[in-house]
Structure 1
C-alpha cells in the first residue's frame, strides 16, 4: 500500500500552510468568511489537482505517442451543491490543444487514456460528481 501524507499548520485567521514532499502551499478563504482572500481555496485546489493529474498523463502520452502539438491547456469548472456540505456535483474538464498539424484522433485517444485509465484524481471525482470531458483543437 502506498500512503501519501500532508502536514497542515494553522497560520492564524483562516490561513493554513500544507507541506507535502513536493513543496508547500497556502490556503485561505474569502474575506466574506473571515479570510484574507490571498491564497488558494481548498475546493479550487481540488479542481487544480484534477487538471494537474490528467495534465501529467497527457504530457507523458503526447511524448510516448509522438503527437505533434505546440502546447495544451486544461480548464476545469465545478458546480457546487446548494446545501451544506457543499461539494462538486458536476465537473467539466476542457482540454485545449494548439498546433499546426494536430492529429485529432490521436489526441482524442490520449485524452481518454488519461480519463478512463490513468488519472486517479479523475476516478476519485467520478465517485461523487458527474464528469464531463470536452476536447478543443486550435490549429495555428
Structure 2
C-alpha cells in the first residue's frame, strides 16, 4: 500500500504553504480574504483541478495506447457548492472537450468511460459525496 504525506504550514493571515509528494510547494488561501499579491489556490477549487487532472491523465494515456491521439483536449469541471456548513460539492459536471481533424469517437468514449469507471481514483472519491455527470464534446478542426 502506498502512503502519501503532505505537510501544510500556516504562513500568514489566511494562507498556508503545502508541499506535495513530488517535492513541489504551493500556497493555499481563503479566497474571501484579502491576500494581496499572493498567488495561490483555494482548497475546494483544487479538488476540482485534481478531478480533471486525474481523469485527464488517464484519458491521454488510454488514447495514446489506442492510437487515437487528438490535437487538443480540455476538461471543464463545474460544481455546485452547498449553502450550509460544512460546504461541499454535491453536484459535479465534468465536460470533456476533444478537438481534431480526424476524431475517433468510439475510442474517445471508451477512454473516458475507462477513466470514469475504472482508473480515476479521484472520480471514485467524488462519487462518494456528489452526483457526478459526465459529457463528451467532439470538435472537428
- TM-score, with normalisation over the residues of structure 2? 0.94
Q: After alignment, is 18-27 or 50-59 more displaced?
A: 18-27
Partner in structure 1 of residue 118 of structure 2? 117
For 1:88-103, list aligned pairs within 5 A: 88-103=89-104
Extract structure 1 runs of 4+ deviating beyond 3 A: none
* SS of structure 2 residue aligned to 1:57: helix
TM-score computed with the length of structure 1 as normaliser = 0.95
- The answer on whether the counterparts of 2:16 and 2:27 sit within 8 Å (CA) in structure 1 is yes
> What is the alpha-carbon root mean square deviation over aligned residues?
1.1
Aligned counterpart, 1:81: 82
1:36 is the counterpart of 2:35:
yes
Deviations 1:63-104 (A, max 9, x none): 111103102000001101110000000000000000001011
2:7 is equivalent to residue 4 of structure 1: no
C-alpha contact 1:74 1:93 (8 A) present in aligned 2? yes
Aligned partner of 1:17 in structure 2 is 17
Gaps of 5+ in 1: none
CA distance in 2, matches of 1:68, 1:86: 38
Give 1:29 deviation, angstroms: 1.3
Matched residue of 2:61: which SS? Answer: helix
Gapped runs of 5+ residues in structure 2?
none
Counterpart of 1:131 in structure 2 is 132
**Corresponding residue for residue 52 of structure 2:** 51
Contact 2:4 2:21 in 1 (8 A): no
